Amino acid sequence: MKIAINIRLVRPDGMDGIGWFSYEIVRRWVERFPEHEFILLTDKSALKEMISGPNVQHKVLLPPARKLFLINWWNSAAKRYVNRIQPDIFISLDGQYAQSIQAPVLTVIHDLNFHHHPEWMTEKLAHFYNSSYPECAANATRIATVSEFSKKDISKSYSISQNRIDVVYNGFNEKLLAVQNKPEKENPYFFFVGIQVPRKNIAGLIKSFSIFKETYKTNHQLKLAGHHYMWDEEMKTALDESSVKEDILLLGRKTFDDLKNLYAGAEALLYIPHFEGFGIPVLEGYAAGLPVICSNTTSLLEVAGKAALSFSPTDYKGIAKAMHQVISDENLRKEMILKGKQRLETFNWKRTSDALWESVLKTIAHGS
């Protein structure tokens, strides 16, 4: 088969969730299926250093879509190229593609946070997503997504039959299984990792941590790793008004080695977003041997199972109390860590790549 894939968000200079999803799947396909030809569409030649093989062709399309207004141009260039080479299938791993693709189309939509809460991002970005995703979803041969929650949400929000939507759970970085978690004694801390945008509930993290510190009088810090993408007024106000803001450390984007060290020394992972299509950091916390405190909203309970302490993302007092429990109750801590490791048996990137390959075969069969 000739398989064309939009892999634009795989970048050697820093990736977020969709980029890692794309990278982990495609590199496995390339190795597993040497009989198939993979044509990887990107806007940066450095991708060749990340995914290669005798069955791989890289096609750099212009313009580089590093600005919002250039994405439609890049998608149009991708459409023209795909229609010229006539692959057996076109796969868009970021949910985006130009219309009138003359091949079966499988698109991956991770979640619809922008549909429900456009106020959580810039007006231009929300408009772009809400004007492009519904049409992309409607015209795709099949859709894949990363949780049962997102499957039902896409089906209901876009009036698409659930029979056209496949669930392919995310995996996690298995190198974190080697982490030996030993919480720091002199400078103990709780840890968050993720892009810092309103839906991640950074304001709620700060408020919960502040209540914890004020109530229990400990010397703990809160360390947040991740790209400072969009701090809104609520987030800024929460930090400015916190009585313990000197103990809240914004670390920015970190290397994987840095993240391993941060996981290794943390008391627990705090991950209480308002909205998630999946929530990979929950699995990363389990892998690194941390107790996890997370939200009970959207997909989080589906992913976390019964291994985490789960709360409404606005139950700041409950979250603060849980923070104290995981540092003071050693039996609870051990139980949570054990359950977390057991929960990981459900998720890995091989299963993800296998599940998405099944979607590929269904797409080709339905589109033929």
The model's pLDDT over 288-316, given as tens digits with 9 standing for 90+, comes to 999 999 999 999 999 999 999 999 999 99
> How long is the chain?
368
312, two tokens: 């409404």
Q: Residue 267 contacts by C-beta under 8 Å, 6 or more apart in sequence?
A: 183, 188, 189, 190, 191, 220, 290, 291, 323, 326, 327
Question: Under a CB-based contact definition with an 8 Å cutoff, are residues 198 and 234 in contact?
Answer: yes
Q: Which CATH class is domain 2-170+348-367?
A: alpha beta
In order, the DSSP letters of 66-135 are -SHHHHHHHHHHHHHHHHHH--SEEEETTS---S--SS-EEEE----HHHH-GGGS-HHHHHHHHHHHHH
What's this model's pTM, rounded to 2 decimal places? 0.95
pLDDT of residue 46: 66
The model's pLDDT over 227-282, given as tens digits with 9 standing for 90+, comes to 888 999 999 999 999 999 999 999 999 999 999 999 999 999 999 999 999 999 99
| Euclidean distance between CA atoms 244 and 156, whole angstroms | 43
Q: Which position has the token pair 């030993």?
A: 182
pLDDT of residue 281: 97
pLDDT band per the 50, 70, 90 thresholds, residue 17: confident
Strands 309-311, 292-295: pairing is parallel
Q: Which fold has domain 174-346?
A: Rossmann fold (3.40.50)
| Euclidean distance between CA atoms 313 and 300, whole angstroms | 11
Identical topology for domains 2-170+348-367 and 174-346: yes
Give the helix/strand (H/E) hosting 165.
strand 165-167
Q: Show me where the domains of the chain are located.
A: 2-170+348-367, 174-346
The model's pLDDT over 141-161, given as tens digits with 9 standing for 90+, comes to 999 999 999 999 999 999 999
How far CA 220 is from CA of 93, 134, 233, 327, 336, in Å, comes to 40, 45, 25, 10, 20
* Exposed/middle/buried for residue 229 (C-beta within 10 Å: 0-12, 13-18, 19+): middle
**What value does the mean pLDDT take over residues 30-37?**
98
Question: Under a CB-based contact definition with an 8 Å cutoff, are residues 184 and 265 in contact?
Answer: yes
